Amino acid sequence: MTPATAHPLQHAVHRATPYAALAVSITAFCVGTSFGKQLFPAVGASGAIAYRVGFSALFLLALFRPWRASLRRQDLFAVVRYGAVLGLMNLSFYMAIRTIPLGLAIAIEFLGPLTVSLLHSRRPAHFAMVGLAATGLALLLPLRDTPHALDPAGIGFALLAGLFWGLYIIFGKKTVHLPGGQAVALGMLTAAFLVVPLGIYEAGTTLLAPSLILIGLVTALLSSAVPYSLEMVALKRIPANRFGVLMSLEPAVGAVAGVILLKEHLSAIQWLAITFVITASVGSVLLGDAEDTVTPVQ
């Protein structure tokens, strides 16, 4: 390969890497959450989230060893704040999917990052993509012509998860200047201190069952350790507006995972919504330009 051809290829790979990281993150999250929901009958939502966050914290601490680099006081505060909203986001979301389908819970939760996207949008084309994503998400919500209404408590927890998801994006931006993996590892440790005691209180010694521990390990790896690490890669180089719109893939992937892994039914209208969401996500990438990059927030 000649230098003339190597440079464009390297440039393309460089530009594609954060988007590939985000795509793998979304897929792993939805598959892992489907495994986590299967734990609910045995240990409840709090027990499942204790597995997920607790094991994820151990994975990330072992992988990144965040103690090797010291933290300034303001950075420690930023990491703890990031970890707190991370834990509350996970707990609220798991409380939501106790009573409403996975794809719909993600769709409602997405109001948080969608709001972040709108607040950071500058170009009319970005507003158009956000509008298309919002239309798809609205179609995903079974507000009419459905035999069963969504559980109000589930909707409330999903909205609360959306609030914390929006804060997660904002606070995550405050930590991207830290050494690789340090923020996400210490953030997950903070989240574990918040949610693991709740799981122990609800499930008790049932959490020690070997078969459940194995499912909990898979859940933690796929739905937390892998996604949050890859999202930190994406957050470094994807603008806040485009990051938020790209995350609209998650309701679509979650709905598909619910159909395949949890046998959750989707109507024709909801499949149409998935098409809108994916179109908005692809459009947000195609509308980008080379200068549209993110400088890590200090």
The pLDDT of residue 89: 94
pLDDT for 147 equals 54
Cα-based torsion angle of the residue sequence 166, 169, 174, 177 in order, rounded to the nearest 10 degrees:
180
Which one, of 156, 166, 186, 184, lies nearest residue 92 by Cα? 156
Please give the Cα distance from 97 to 16 (Å, whole number): 32
What CA–CA distances, in Å, run from 20 to 54, 103, 233? 27, 21, 10
CB 79 within 8 A of CB 67: no
Quote the pLDDT of residue 193.
95
Specify whether the CB–CB gap between 283 and 129 falls below 8 A.
yes
Residue 293: inside a domain, yes or no?
no
User: How many CA atoms, within 13 angstroms, populate the side-chain half-sphere of residue 169?
Assistant: 26
Residue 207 forms part of a structural domain: yes
- Residue 296, pLDDT score: 31
Look up the domain containing 83 and give its range: 20-286
The answer as to whether 292 is a domain residue is: no
pLDDT attached to residue 52: 93
The pLDDT, as a whole number, for residue 285 is 61
DSSP 179: S
What is the DSSP annotation of 78-114? HHHHHHHHHHHHHHHHHHHTTTS-HHHHHHHHTHHHH
Residue 199: the pLDDT is 94
Residue at 297 is within a domain = no
What pLDDT, on the 0 to 100 scale, is given for residue 140? 65
Structural domains counted in the chain? 1
Q: Is residue 2 part of a domain?
A: no
- Residue 62 counted as domain residue: yes
Q: Does the residue 6 lie in any domain?
A: no
Q: What is the DSSP letter of 272?
A: H
Q: What is the mean pLDDT of each run of 10 residues along the chain (298 residues)?
A: 60 79 89 92 94 92 85 88 94 94 85 73 75 78 59 88 89 80 88 95 93 93 83 77 73 87 80 80 62 34
Query: How far is the C-alpha of 34 from the C-alpha of 279, rounded, in Å?
Result: 24
* First-to-last C-alpha distance (Å) of the chain: 39
pLDDT at 79: 92
